[in-house]
Amino acid sequence: MRAKYIFSWSGFPGANAEVRLTKPSGDRVQLDGSIHTIGLVRTLWKFDGTQNASANASTLQPIEMKQVENLRNKKTVTVLSFDSTGVSSKETETPGKGPKVRRFDFPHLFDLYSSLLYLRSQPLQDRSIQRIVVYPATSAYLATITVLGRERLAVPSGTYNTIKFDLQLSKIGKTRELEPHRKFRRATVWISDDADRLLLKVQAQIFVGTVLAELQSVEFDDPKSASP
């Protein structure tokens, strides 16, 4: 499927994102995404990014992720390689010195893409809580996801029955202690309450204010696979 999102910052349109989900082989699913700041926000913060991530179709465990960020005159490339015991991270900045290589060992670790796949697979009963360890780029976080309930929601792509979550993140320190996230406070997330469980809306409280992401459109390669 293909999905388009729009991000806004404190009420101003801030960025456009496109996501393409495919199954290149029987044992692998893949995400290819891009994001670009727009309008007034782009004059203040010119940013272009891409992400390519793959996961095991059966276990939903991450395999690899490559993220490219272009911010003004700096380019940052982050590559994650997952295995059964954890993840190896390689971050390269241009201009800059040699790459930063990190290793984090933890079983059942997720990146952003595989964490969403995992959550979609759960029953998600009201008031239930999921706790998972996520390694999105260069650090590990404990994500606590609480199902707040069900509600009807309208976004640009349509009106849906939804499952509403509360998301909180704690950084995992070098000695595995939990630390407050310096830039992220909390977020509310809505996904469709159907077989597709589409990511519809995210409202996040971060250090620069409120950031909102909403689904603009979605197109399935096989329309029969989409839920009514």
Summarised one tens digit per residue, pLDDT across range 116-159 is: 999 999 999 999 999 999 999 999 999 999 999 999 999 999 99
Structure tokens at 29: 């699913």
Q: What is the pLDDT at residue 228?
A: 37
Spans of the chain, pLDDT less than 70? 223-228
Contacts with 192 (C-beta within 8 Å, 6 or more apart), sequence order: 160, 161, 162, 163, 198, 200, 227
Q: What is the pLDDT at residue 220?
A: 95
Q: What is the mean pLDDT of the chain?
A: 94
| Secondary structure of 144-203 as H, E, C letters | EEEEEEEEEEEECCEEEEEEEEEEEEEEECCCCCEEECCCEEEEEEEEECCCCCCEEEEE
CB-count exposure of residue 132 (10 Å: 0-12, 13-18, 19+): middle
Q: What is the pLDDT at residue 81?
A: 98
Q: What is the pLDDT at residue 224?
A: 52
Q: What is the pLDDT at residue 227?
A: 46
What count of residues does the chain have? 228
pTM here? 0.92
How many whole angstroms separate alpha carbon 124 and alpha carbon 164?
A: 10
